[in-house]
Structures are given as C-alpha cells and as structure tokens.
Amino acid sequence: MKLIRKVDTRCKWTGPLAPAMMAVLCLVFMVSTPAGAVNSFDPFPMGWYDVFAGVTRPALMATDTDVPGGQGSNIAIAYWMPYPYSGRMAYLDTAYSVGVGIILEVERDLVLNQDPAGISTFVAQWDDHPAVVGWYLFDEPYSNWGEMGTELQIASDAIRAQSSKPIMLLFGEPGIDAGKPAVWSSVYDIFGVDGYSCRMGEVEFSGLGSESPSEFPYWDDWKGLMDRTQAQSLAVGKPYWSVLSGFSDLVGETLNYRFPTNAESKFHTFYSLLRDASGLIYFSYYRAVDSPARPEEAYPFWGWTWLDTVMASRNDEVNLLGPALREGPIAGNAFSADEAAIIGDVYQDPGTSIFYVVALNKMKGDRAPSTITLNLQGLPLETPVAVRPLFEGSVAPIPLTAGGTQFSDDFSSYEVHLYQVIYEPADCDEAIADGYRLVGDFNDDCVIDMLDVASFVSVWLDCIEPGVSGCQTPWLP
C-alpha cells in the first residue's frame, strides 16, 4: 500500500547502544489538536513503579514480552530507598543497558523539609546518568498530606535549577476531585493518576462503574476517574499517565488488592489510552514479584505468572501500537459505532503509515454484533479492504463494506479488540513487501510456475548435513 507518510522530526536517542537494546527516551513536549497536551517520550512509555534498589529488576522488566528479541517495559519510576551508592549506580547502569529509562523520585524528606539546597545537590548527583529521564516529585501529596503547594513549588524550582528533564507528580482520586492538577500545574510537566479497582473477594470487572459496583468505597468508579482525569488534562494543557494495577496483597497484608485478570488489564490499558493517557505505569514491580498465588480470586496465580503472561501481552500490544499511540488519534471523526457502549479511535504509525483501530465495549453486557464505521477519507490513497484482528490467534481478517468504511464484530462485556487496517497491494512487489508470499514462489513473482520448479530442481539433493560426504560446508571459510 502506498500511503502518505509523515516525517517524524522529533528527537531520537543517540547514545552508544544499539537501537535494539536501547529505548529511545528523548523528551519533547508539544500541544496537539484536538487531543490536548501530549508528551512524546519515544518509545511510548510503558513500565513500572519500582524501588531504586535491586540491580537485576530493570533487566527483568525489559524481558516481559512474547516477541523474540522484543522489548518489554521501557520505563520505571524508582522510589528512593536506603541503598548503597554502588548499588544505585549498578541499578541505573543495568537500566540503561536494557533500554529502561528511570524517572527518579526526589528523596521525600527533602521535599517535606523544604530543603532546596539538598534537592539541588540530589538532582546534580544523578542528572548526568543517561538512564535518568525525569524526576518524580511526590507521591499523592493531597491524598496523604493535604495542602502542599509551598513544598512542591520549592522542590520543583530547585529541580529545574539543576535539570531540564521533566517532572512528574502523582495524584490519587481525592487530588483529582479537588482539582489539584490545575491548582499545582506550575510544579510539574506530567501528572499521573492511580486507580486500582481490582479487589479481593470481588468478581472480574468490579469497580469499573455503577453497572459493575464494588463494595469498596474507594476506586469504585474507575472509568469515571479516567474520564475526570482526561478532562483536567485537557483543561490544564498537560499530559497525564495512567497508573494501573499490577500487584496483589503480599503474605499477611489485608489491603484487599488482587491482580487484574488478563481481560481486566487489557480494558484498563486501552480505556486509559482512549482517554488520552500518554503513558502507562503499573504498580508495582517490587510487589508483583513477591505476590503469592490466590486460587480463590479472579486471578488465581502468583506474580511471576502474571508478569510472564498478562504483562507480556500488554507490553507486546502497546509496543506494536506505540509509534501510532505517540501521535495520538487521527484528526476528525475517524471512528463511530452503532452502539454508544462501543468506543474507539484510529491511530496511524508515522513510520509505516499503517492504521490501527482500538475498539472496546465500555459497559457490562454483550454487544453482538456491533457495526463500526471508519472515516479515513483523504488519508490513504487507496480504499481499505479489511481489518485484521490483532493478538487473537488465527482469526481471519474481517472484510470492510460500504466502500471500505464499515465492519462488524462481537464484543462481550468490557472486551477490547485491536485491528490493523488492510489495503489491497498495488502490485506484486508490494504484496511481497507486505508479507503475502506463496510457499514455493522462489522468485517472488506471485505465481508458482515452471520457473519455480526449475529453481527447485537446480538445488535438488543439495545438503549441508554435517559429517556427510558431498554436503556443502558453508560454516567453513
């Protein structure tokens, strides 16, 4: 398919490591229309809360993927913890070597004590390390400490006096409902919001909203929290990251949190993205690895299984769509559905020009089937012919009707579908480039004929079996 290609002029990592190993984490901030403020970390930030200790954890985060040679998580927010200097350096060195950028928490007591000199010294000590890509100002200040505007402003000014890297501030639900992202907008570049609706003893999808109530009064309307956060991000003109659940109670704890199921995690992730989250952070790696199996819960397995299955799936999905997600949804009314419960957006990868569709059922109850309309007029040069469901096994492409604008699919409660828009290749070369190769078409002319037979016959009985007389030995000079 020959599509109009966008040119990505934003910064790319130019460090010493090979691109396959080092995530690009240049920081450029821009305002897009109409989605509001978007931070353009590259690649799209997907990662964890962790503690600034434990030398091997960044490498483990980076391997949570099912893609051979692929990148798992690419970023971590590291809480400050008492730890030897050599161990901290080793943590950062490991993170840099595997493509995990670190947003480093400023030592909390320095903020609480209004110590700008101490903060300046702290930032200066770590700012030059290439793994450090930003600063974490404070953890839920309004929820835990109340009015902290003075402390936060002093700390923010001290950080900015020493570093040009972005500052992140996390809000809990009370801070969002009090409008603190606007009140304290001068102290941060990115804000986060956390919401953990998965509670022990409750069925799958509890706590998402009034149609799926929770017995716990806090985080019992997770969708509403995301909606309110999106509105505040747009109003203040600054990007936000969604902090999602990736843990359960440890042995002996009674906090009543459980791991989300795969379906819950996928809904949390892509509902956040459809509400313009410009980064995804899961809480928290240092807890996930120690979380025990709980056979009685909706997600019954222990933390390592969750990391190797659920988290690996989220990494693979978001990393595939990441370049398109960084761009934000394409302008105009590109997505609509015949049912209000089905929401979605269309995104375009600026490098490949591939269009992706994210669609989900935001409500309880099946929608089968629902008709989705895509409005891509003026963007591609050809008419799309189908959409291919992604990460759903061997499901066949779904034909597009109505002039390449409509398709239908089934959606169970809170189900998410990801699709790639497919175009008919313009010629044989393009068909081969798009991966549509016939087995036995040795000369790639899209026809299996006598030329291919001749190619096959010309190598008949050739062998490279080691130790067999007459076989070729291509491994020898």
- HEC assignment per residue over the chain: CCECCCCCCCCCCCCCCCCCCCCCCECCEEEECCCEEEECCECCCEEEEEECCCCCHHHHHHCCCCCCCCCCCCEEEEECCCCCHHHHHHHHHHHHHCCCEEEEECCHHHHHCCCHHHHHHHHHHHCCCCCEEEEEEEECHHHHHCCCHHHHHHHHHHHHHHCCCCEEEEECHHHHHCCHHHHCHHHCCEEEEECCCCECCCCCCCCCECCECCCCCCCCCHHHHHHHHHHHHHHHCCCEEEEEECCCCCCCCCCCECCCCHHHHHHHHHHHHHCCCCCEEEECHHHHCCCCCCCCCCCCCCHHHHHHHHHHHHHHHHHHHHHHHHHCCCCCCCEEECCCCEEEEEEECCCCCCEEEEEEECCCCCEEEEEEEECCCCCECCCEEEEEECCCCCCCCEECECCCCEEEEEECCCCEEEEEEEECCCCHHHHHHCCCCCCCCCCCCCCCCHHHHHHHHHCCCCCCCCCCCCCCCCCCC
Query: Please, are residues 185 and 236 in contact by the beta-carbon 8 Å criterion?
Result: yes
Taking residue 477's Cβ as centre, other Cβ atoms within 10 Å add up to 3
Burial of 18 (0-12, 13-18, 19+ CB in 10 A): exposed
pLDDT at position 18? 32
Query: Please, are residues 286 and 254 in contact by the beta-carbon 8 Å criterion?
Result: no
Question: pLDDT tens digits, residue range 125-174?
Answer: 999 999 999 999 999 999 999 999 999 999 999 999 999 999 999 999 99
Distance from chain centroid for Cα 6: 22
The residue among 223, 228, 305 whose CA lies nearest residue 268 is 223
Range with the poorest average pLDDT among 110-114, 224-228, 320-324, 401-405: 401-405
Question: pLDDT tens digits, residue range 171-227?
Answer: 999 999 999 999 999 999 999 999 999 999 999 999 999 888 888 767 789 999 999
Tokens read off for 151: 């402390």
Chain mean pLDDT for the chain: 88
Taking residue 227's Cβ as centre, other Cβ atoms within 10 Å add up to 13
Q: Which residue type is seen at 451?
A: L
pLDDT at position 6? 30
| Pair type for strands 416-423 and 384-389 | antiparallel
Q: pLDDT band at residue 26, thresholds of 50, 70 and 90?
A: very low
**Would the pLDDT of 32 be above 50?**
no
**How far apart are alpha carbons 368 and 306 in whole angstroms?**
30
| Pair type for strands 190-194 and 167-171 | parallel
Burial of 97 (0-12, 13-18, 19+ CB in 10 A): middle
pLDDT at position 184? 98
What percent of the chain stands above pLDDT 90? 75
**Would the pLDDT of 13 be above 70?**
no
**How far apart are alpha carbons 302 and 305 in whole angstroms?**
6
Range with the poorest average pLDDT among 94-98, 208-212, 218-222, 283-287: 218-222
pLDDT at position 326? 94
pLDDT at position 380? 57
Burial of 16 (0-12, 13-18, 19+ CB in 10 A): exposed
Sign of CA dihedral 461, 464, 469, 473: positive
Question: pLDDT tens digits, residue range 37-46?
Answer: 444 588 999 9
pLDDT at position 200? 95
| List of domains in the chain | 29-327 (3.20.20.80), 335-423 (2.60.40.1180), 426-477 (no CATH)
What percent of the chain stands above pLDDT 70? 90
Q: pLDDT: is 272 or 67 the higher one? A: 272
Burial of 397 (0-12, 13-18, 19+ CB in 10 A): middle
pLDDT at position 54? 81
The residue among 175, 114, 163, 111 whose CA lies nearest residue 135 is 163
pLDDT at position 318? 97
Give the Å distances, CA to CA, from 51 to 103, 132, 303, 430, 460. Answer: 11, 14, 17, 48, 59
pLDDT at position 22? 35
Question: pLDDT tens digits, residue range 293-343?
Answer: 999 999 999 999 999 999 999 999 999 999 999 999 998 889 999 999 999
Average pLDDT over residues 247-251: 94
pLDDT at position 10? 32
- Sorted by sequence, the CB contacts under 8 Å of residue 372 that are 6+ apart come out as 335, 336, 337, 338, 342, 344, 357, 359, 406, 407, 408, 409
Vertex 268: Cα angle to 200 and 282 (nearest 5):
75
**Residue bearing tokens 């320095």:** 110
pLDDT at position 27? 36
**How far apart are alpha carbons 264 and 259 in whole angstroms?**
9
Query: Please, are residues 28 and 370 in contact by the beta-carbon 8 Å criterion?
Result: no
Burial of 431 (0-12, 13-18, 19+ CB in 10 A): middle
Find out whether the peptide bond into 116 is cis, omega within 30 degrees of 0.
Answer: no
